[in-house]
Amino acid sequence: MAKLQKSKDKREALVKATICLVNNDGFHAAPMSKIAKMANISPATIYLFFEGKQDLVNQVYIEVKASFSDYAFETFTDDMDVEAGFELIWKRIAHFKLKEREEAMFLAQCDNTPMIDEPSRKEGIKHLQPLLDLWHRGKEEGVLKPVSDYLLYAYSINPLSFLMLAQHRGECVITEKTIIEAYQAAWDSIKL
Amino acid sequence: MAKLQKSKDKREALVKATICLVNNDGFHAAPMSKIAKMANISPATIYLFFEGKQDLVNQVYIEVKASFSDYAFETFTDDMDVEAGFELIWKRIAHFKLKEREEAMFLAQCDNTPMIDEPSRKEGIKHLQPLLDLWHRGKEEGVLKPVSDYLLYAYSINPLSFLMLAQHRGECVITEKTIIEAYQAAWDSIKL
Amino acid sequence: MAKLQKSKDKREALVKATICLVNNDGFHAAPMSKIAKMANISPATIYLFFEGKQDLVNQVYIEVKASFSDYAFETFTDDMDVEAGFELIWKRIAHFKLKEREEAMFLAQCDNTPMIDEPSRKEGIKHLQPLLDLWHRGKEEGVLKPVSDYLLYAYSINPLSFLMLAQHRGECVITEKTIIEAYQAAWDSIKL
Amino acid sequence: MAKLQKSKDKREALVKATICLVNNDGFHAAPMSKIAKMANISPATIYLFFEGKQDLVNQVYIEVKASFSDYAFETFTDDMDVEAGFELIWKRIAHFKLKEREEAMFLAQCDNTPMIDEPSRKEGIKHLQPLLDLWHRGKEEGVLKPVSDYLLYAYSINPLSFLMLAQHRGECVITEKTIIEAYQAAWDSIKL
DNA sequence: TATGAATGAGATTTCATTCAT
DNA sequence: AATGAATGAAATCTCATTCAT
């Protein structure tokens, strides 16, 4: 049990290190040796947990995406009305991005880069289903614009990633007020 | 003259090859040797035009960003009223992204990655000034929401990049109808 | 322990190979790959011990210089009178140059070339202090000419390097008789 | 004639550039392209004057050595008595090294490095014959120690190179007084 | 004669991965 | 399970040299 714990700790450290290095230097400047050093383990040990670098990144992506989705939908139930449900989910997402900046940044980079392979990307997206269902209902009820989910996502969810990145580069600061304004913009863009 | 032309051609080929390879494989999987091969020149020749790989990518970014901005603002004059001006610029941007998919993709990846260094990023952003001026006017006139430019950009411009990427991955198709819907979402998100 | 030993052996082999190749071909014709091959290791392994080629050469220089100085001053104590002390040191130096031809040759090349960077050169020279102290005393006692240490070194110590090089090129042979004659010349040049 | 002059100028510029760069960076850091740039000609043009880099360096060596020897022996005639003749030559050599620092430095580096090939080295040494003849006479007359020419050279001539190098590195300054002291040391080391 | 452009060959260095322990 | 050492393969970059003009 203690051993198993230690093993989990190592894996956890690896995941953290990967996120941190990829965020700051990009995939191409995050060598395995650096990741290992930052996680305080030997490079060779990485291969006990992951098949290789691609697998490491893929798995980190999937896990972070899952943790992101879990957070986003934790308080949501599908009996909520569409606007309330959307606001709830949106705010949870925004909160996650503020609270878990490192993980959010990592996802943003993964989503705009050929860094993750297709199967893993698909796997990561699956968790968004509750939101898609909600949107489906919203369109049926005439609350949301009758446009594709990609469009809804592009306008109501994805902009948060852009704001995150800008903040990370020190170009702007995201405050509580920003969040309120952003939600308004998000909702305005998709509501009918 | 003929020589100069040939030299320009080589540079041009290099730029094209860089865009293409980075789009498909990412910065880390676009080695100089591959870029050279695709441009049909010797790897050594790259260094006649660029100081190194970082410089190559930086310069390509700046050039593509400039060509993007030139296109976006070509028909815009600052005597237009805010909504008309915005629609004009927005549609030019959308058109550019449809027409020059490769270049647009490249920009999307650069803008979401620590691939480009800070000075080059700054250089690339400078060209957006006319849009920022228009927004400034829009806020003064009470046509636009009184929020930061980053927010306006995140909600009205950036979503197009997301749609581009999704299309590139084969997840969705962008049609004329999509563009109309997208414009509506964009304008709804920022108009007062 | 066995492992550590092996690691030290590799480093040792690298140092030996560097000295040998630089002696015969010069810095510019001693590529890392050749050095690695001669030391029977992979080129990549060099970088486990040294930061790069410049660091490799610098460190080899410092080590050889230290080993040279250690030998030169091993039997010297500062209670010896000046002439006896000088003769002792001089002969040790001469002996070192005859015995450790490779190392002596290497030092000669380093000392006459912009091959070693300034800090390392300074580091290497530090070890000569006992000789400088002896000379200081010699000048005070009126045994040595009241001239700068550089002059004393140039005339009493450095000529040995020239003879070494000439012998290495096959131009002359250094015998015991040569050493005796050389010492006489050295002493004559600096004694008052 | 004008053309011939221009051609000679180019060659001259090449020689100067080679000396300068090798002095400051060493043979290994004096690429043909840098030499060409410093001489204000195209790299290709070097090959109109020299067969390649090795040939360039060899020829520069031979020329500088010849110019050095010419200067050294210009005022010497073999009817002088040994001490006077030696003093004359020695002082001319010292003067050359002070006056033509760049060229002297270059020779010092060539003489301690596997930079020059054997035939060229031999060629360069030939010019020293008058000094060797003088020494031969000096030994016969019992004025000089009966030791090999290499020893005489090592102790009476070569030390000047060491002083030059030390001065170039900024470690010491050679003044008129230094020259007088150095001559004394030189003569003391070889006179019987 | 002179050159700017171009390059093949090779130098240095990096890195994902493996292996002996 | 865990690792430090080691490395093959490949990446970036340099340079002496050549070629078309």
**What pLDDT, in 10s, does the model give residues B63-92?**
999 999 999 999 999 999 999 999 999 999
Asked whether residue D74 is assigned to any structural domain, the reply reads yes
Residue C44 zone, left/alpha/beta (φ > 0; ψ -120 to 50; rest): alpha
Q: Is pLDDT above 70 for A2? A: no
Q: Are residues C116 and C181 in the same domain?
A: yes
Q: Which nucleotide is nearest to D33 (CA to C1')?
A: F15
* Confidence at D2, pLDDT banded by 50, 70, 90: low
Same domain for B81 and B173?
Answer: yes
Local confidence band at C3 (pLDDT 50, 70, 90 cut-offs):
low
* Residue in chain D lying closest to C117 (CA): D25
Instruction: State whether C153 and C83 are in the same domain.
Output: yes
Taking a C-beta distance cutoff of 8 angstroms, is the pair B163, B172 a contact?
A: yes
- Domain-located, residue D55: no
Question: Cα separation of B73 and C167, whole Å?
Answer: 77
Sequence-distant (≥ 6) Cβ neighbours of residue D100 within 8 angstroms: D67, D68, D71
D28 CA: nearest nucleotide by C1' = F15
Q: What is the pLDDT of residue B8?
A: 84
Write the pLDDT tens digit of every residue in D50-84: 999 999 999 999 999 999 999 999 999 999 999 99
Model confidence at B1: pLDDT above 80: no
Chain F footprint positions (protein CB, under 7 Å): 1-21
Tell me, in Å, how far CA of D135 is from C1' of E4?
54
- CB < 7 Å to strand E — which of 35-74 in chain D? 41-45, 47-48
Cβ–Cβ under 8 Å, residues A65 and A103: no
**If you average pLDDT over residues C169-186, what whole number do you get?**
95
Q: Could you tell me if C95 and C165 lie in one domain?
A: yes
Name which of C151, C168, C178 to mutate to probe chain D: the one with the most chain D Cβ atoms within 10 A of its Cβ. Answer: C151
Domain with C33 in it: what CATH number? 1.10.10.60
Task: Using the predicted structure, report yes or no on whether residue A45 has a pLDDT greater than 60.
Answer: yes
Asked if C161 contacts C65 with a C-beta cutoff of 8 angstroms, the reply is: no
Strand partners, A144: A191
pLDDT at D34 over 60: yes
Has residue C1 got a pLDDT over 70? no
CB A100 within 8 A of CB A64: no
pLDDT(C100) > 80: yes
- pLDDT score, position B2: 60
Kindly state whether residues B30 and B98 are assigned to the same domain: no
Average of per-residue pLDDT values in chain B: 94
CA-based nearest residue to A160, from A113, A115, A83, A105? A105
Nearest Cα to C112, choosing from D112, D98, D61, D23?
A: D112
Q: How many CB pairs under 8 A join C and D?
A: 126
Nearest residue to A164 via CA among A149, A179, A152, A150: A179
Give the three-state DSSP class for B144. Answer: strand
Question: Minimal CA–CA distance to A115: which of A67, A47, A54?
Answer: A54
Is the distance from CB of A165 to CB of B110 less than 8 angstroms? no
For the segment 24-83 of chain A, residues whose CB is within 7 A of strand E: 29-33, 43-44, 46-47, 52-54
Based on the fold, state whether residues A10 and A75 are members of the same structural domain: no
Tokens in use for C56?
Answer: 């490799």
Query: Within this chain, do residues C117 and C172 fall inside the same structural domain, yes or no?
Result: yes
CA distance D2 to chain C (A): 39
D166 inside domain: yes
Q: Please identify which residue in the block is written with the tokens 């992204």.
A: B97
B191, β-bridge pairs: B144
pLDDT at B102 over 90: yes
Whether any strand E atom is under 7 angstroms from the Cβ of B10: the reply reads yes
CB contact under 8 A, D151 and C145: no
- Based on the domain organization, do B37 and B76 belong to the same domain? no
Q: Are D97 and D158 in contact (CB under 8 A)?
A: no
Decide if C114 and D25 are in contact by the 8 Å CB cutoff. Answer: yes
Does C26 contact strand E, using a CB cutoff of 7 Å? Answer: no
Q: Count of A–B CB contacts within 8 Å?
A: 128
Share of chain D above pLDDT 70, in %: 97
Closest CA to A190 of A161, A152, A149: A152
- D94 and D159 share one domain: yes
The Cα B12–Cα C92 span in angstroms is 66
DSSP state of C161: H
Q: Which own/partner contact pairs does B88-96 have at CB distance under 8 Å and 24+ positions apart?
A: B89/B130, B89/B131, B89/B134, B90/B156, B90/B157, B90/B183, B90/B186, B90/B187, B91/B179, B91/B183, B93/B68, B93/B157, B93/B160, B94/B160, B94/B179, B94/B182, B94/B183, B95/B71, B96/B68, B96/B71, B96/B72
User: Which of D188, D190, D191, D192 has the highest number of chain C CBs within 10 A, making it the mutation to test binding with C?
Assistant: D188
Q: To the nearest whole angstrom, how far is the Cα of B10 from the nearest Cα of chain A? A: 26
pLDDT of A1 higher than 60: no
Shared-domain flag, residues A42 and A111: no
Residue of C nearest to D122 (CA): C171
Q: Distance between CA atoms of D154 and D186, rounded to whole angstroms? A: 10
Nearest residue to nucleotide F12 when comparing alpha carbons to its C1'? B32
Tens digit of each residue's pLDDT (9 = 90 or more) over B131-166: 999 999 999 999 999 999 999 999 999 999 999 999
Asked if B25 and B101 sit in the same domain, the reply is no
Do C154 and D154 count as a contact with CB atoms less than 8 A apart? no
A144 secondary structure, DSSP code: B
pLDDT at D119: 95
Q: Which residues contact B96 (CB under 8 A, 6 or more apart)?
A: B68, B71, B72, B103, B104
CATH number at residue C180: 1.10.357.10
pLDDT per residue as tens digits for the range A105-152: 999 999 888 999 999 999 999 999 999 999 999 999 999 999 999 999
| Interface touch D109/C113, C-beta < 8 Å | yes
- DSSP summary character for residue B80: S
Residue of B nearest to A159 (CA): B154
Q: Is residue D75 in some structural domain?
A: yes
- Which residues form the domain of D13? 1-49
CB contact under 8 A, A163 and B169: no
Under the banding of pLDDT at 50, 70 and 90, the label for residue A39 is very high
Chain A partners (3+ C-beta pairs within 8 A) = B
- Contact present, B74 and B32 (Cβ < 8 Å): no
pLDDT tens, residue by residue, C52-75: 999 999 999 999 999 999 999 999
pLDDT of the residue at A85: 98
What digits encode the pLDDT tens for the residues A152-162? 999 999 999 99
- At residue C183, the pLDDT reads 98
D112 band by pLDDT with thresholds 50, 70 and 90 = confident
Q: State the total domains in chain C.
A: 2
Mean pLDDT of B29-50: 97
Answer yes or no: are the C-beta atoms of D61 and D124 closer than 8 Å: yes
Contacts of D172 in chain C (CB under 8 A): 148, 150
Is A21 near strand E, with its CB below 7 A from some atom of it?
Answer: no
**Minimal CA–CA distance to B30: which of B22, B40, B38?**
B22
Per-residue pLDDT tens digits for C101-141: 999 999 999 988 999 999 999 999 999 999 999 999 999 99
pLDDT of residue D3: 62
Q: What is the mean predicted confidence (pLDDT) over D113-139?
A: 94
pLDDT band at A3 (very low <50, low <70, confident <90, very high): low
Q: Is residue D4 part of a domain?
A: yes
Binary contact (B163, A151; C-beta < 8 A):
yes
The confidence band for A172, taking pLDDT boundaries of 50, 70 and 90, is: very high
| Secondary structure of D75-132 as H, E, C letters | CCCCCCCHHHHHHHHHHHHHHHHHHCHHHHHHHHHHHCCCCCCHHHHHHHHHCCHHHH
- Whether residue B89 sits in one domain with residue B15: no
Chain B residues in contact with A185 by the CB 8 A cut-off are 145, 147, 151, 154-155, 189-190
